[in-house]
Chain A
Amino acid sequence: MVKRPKGAIIGIGELKPVRYSEGKTTLSLIAESVQLALADAGLTKDEIDGLLVGPQVGETPQHVPATVSEYLGVSPIMSNTVDLGGATGAGMIWRAAAAIEAGMCETVVCVLANKNEKGQVPRSPNRNPIREFDVPFGASGANTSYALLKREHMEVYGSKQEDFARIAYWSRKNALKNPKAIFYDKPVELDDILQSPIISDPLRLLEIVMPCAGGAAVIVTSEEKAKQAKKKPVYLKGAGEKITHRAVSQAPAMDQLPFAYSIPQALQQAEINGEDLDLLSLYDCYTSVVAVQLESIGICRQGEFGDFVRNHTFGHDGDYPLNTHGGQLGFGQADLAGGMSHIIEAVIQLRGEGGDRQIADAKHALVTGNGATLSETTALVLGGEQ
């Protein structure tokens, strides 16, 4: 048997992303998300003895676990801040399971939320190498970093604009089946994506997530306690993580980006192959991130995601169901909570609660998270059976 952290997801709560959140604080959105997850699990907050939270630029940069505990009125016996950018949500799930297995607690709530007020962009107070050696040259922000990664893929492997646009196309198409998605009622064609404004060439507007307000919470417990759960538990079958760099200029070669380690490790722990997956719930802050992941799962060769996306379908009833909730490209990105949307969709599908976007007989899902510039990566395999 391969050694792996064991645990089960027994509750999920997710706010509908909105472009702006007037009259809310990040703490109030966290509380709303936790309330929803507790109701879904049929638990009271007194049954929560573990709490994992994320960093909050601007509102609570330090002492986040204590601040959130106090606000919620809980006194956890295990708590921490997980700081992996977009991989934070996925990183929380296996950390919760590991803490439970270590005997430090039994039921952990993992929660992330973000307020987004018009005209208020909190500027990161970085004073580290990326601030010293990237920003002074005109390269601040994620858009340019991901544009550089996309350009490199195009040059090294010959991938085309249309290949990347297809990834956004499927996200937006899938979002039409999710009433919670920010682009639920806004269909686009491939050409709309290819013709959308250039933000940082070769990256165009519709290849980039929409910043939103929102929140999400997931409750993880022991496999033992999950047997009494109100709803069908979803089990953690495998996890992988890898961090390689921070700034895009320090990234390893295209075929050695950290997903090339974290995804195979998660599959190995779960003792399954990429072809056995029923849902690919892949972190998609930008189209280029999905491209790199498709080449790390073992379903298409390095550098050949373009052929793969041209030759397959990616809806809930497609060859390879991919981000059936619309991905973040279709659902919206409530900062770190955006990464949670991939976990929550996997739970919905594995429970069989997908409604008219339900994948037939879904047994295994791959969930990923990605932070900074393809720097911090986490992969989880979730399954409907223990």
Chain B
Amino acid sequence: MTNISFPEPTITAVSKPFWDKINEKQFYLQQCEECKQWVFYPRAHCPNCFSAKLTWKEASGQGKLKSWSIVHRAGHPAWQERTPYAVGVVQLAEGPSLLTHLLINEQELRYQLPVEISYQQLNERLLPFFQKKGD
């Protein structure tokens, strides 16, 4: 066994509300009050209209699988111990995309597969992984 720990999120003053909600198993994203677009990752300004009026709101935690990869050679030594595993890009129902860890069997991975959030403990922290919808 290695004692190298998983790389944890490098939380900032701007992103802290996102991670605080994740720790309560709640998925909150920012929505722009001006142009109504949802924003991910957390920012101080809307990347669409550049307004600073962003409001934290509960999001669905649902989306569709845009792409995925089965990692055999991880970029980090702690993750190498878990290989092979799946990561993917999920297009959230609210619009933005995010990168996440997938709790889905390789045989079931397909383009546009409906997926939903699944909170998983890693080190001392909860992380928003995704699973097949309804699993």
Closest-CB distance, A66 to chain B (whole angstroms):
30
Name the residue in A137, A141, A143 with the highest tally of chain B Cβ atoms < 10 Å from its Cβ.
Answer: A137
* CA gap between A247 and B47 in the complex, in Å: 15
What's the dominant secondary structure at chain A's contact region? helix
Q: Does B23 contact A (CB under 8 A)?
A: no
Q: Check: B49 CB closer than 8 A to any chain A CB.
A: no
Q: Residue of A at shortest CB range from B89?
A: A249
Question: Would you give the 0/1 interface string for A187-215, flagging 1 where the beta carbon is closer than 8 Å to chain B?
Answer: 00000000001111111000000000000
CB distance from B55 to the nearest CB of A (A): 20
Instruction: Give Cα A3 to B53, complex, Å.
Output: 40
Chain A interface residue count: which class? 20 to 34
Interface magnitude class on chain B: 35 or more
Q: Is the CB of B73 within 8 A of A200?
A: yes
Residues in A neighbouring B11, C-beta threshold 8 A: 132
Q: Does any Cβ of B come within 8 Å of A71's Cβ?
A: no
Residues of A within 8 A of B68 (CB): 148, 151
A203 in contact with B69 given A133-B41, A139-B99, A143-B75 (CB within 8 Å):
yes
Chain B residues within an 8 Å CB radius of A127 = 10
CB distance from A30 to the nearest CB of B (A): 27
Identify which of residues 98-154 in chain A touch chain B, using a CB-to-CB cut-off of 8 Å: 127, 129, 131-141, 143-144, 147-149, 151-152
B69 touching A147, Cβ below 8 Å: yes
Does A155 make an interface contact (CB < 8 A)?
yes
Chain B residue, CB-CB nearest to A141? B75
Q: How close is A153's CB to chain B, nearest CB, in angstroms?
A: 9
Contact A136 B70 (CB under 8 A): no
Q: Which B residues touch A152, using CB under 8 A?
A: 66-67, 89
Known contacts A138-B76, A139-B75, A199-B73, then 11 further A-B pairs from the complex at CB < 8 Å, ordered by chain A residue = A136-B7, A137-B99, A138-B79, A138-B82, A139-B69, A140-B76, A143-B73, A144-B75, A151-B68, A152-B67, A202-B69
13 A-B pairs whose Cβ atoms sit less than 8 Å apart in the complex? A127-B10, A132-B15, A136-B7, A137-B87, A137-B99, A138-B71, A139-B71, A144-B69, A148-B68, A200-B70, A200-B72, A248-B89, A250-B97
Which 6 residue pairs spanning A and B have beta carbons closest together?
A: A141-B75, A140-B75, A155-B111, A201-B70, A147-B69, A249-B99
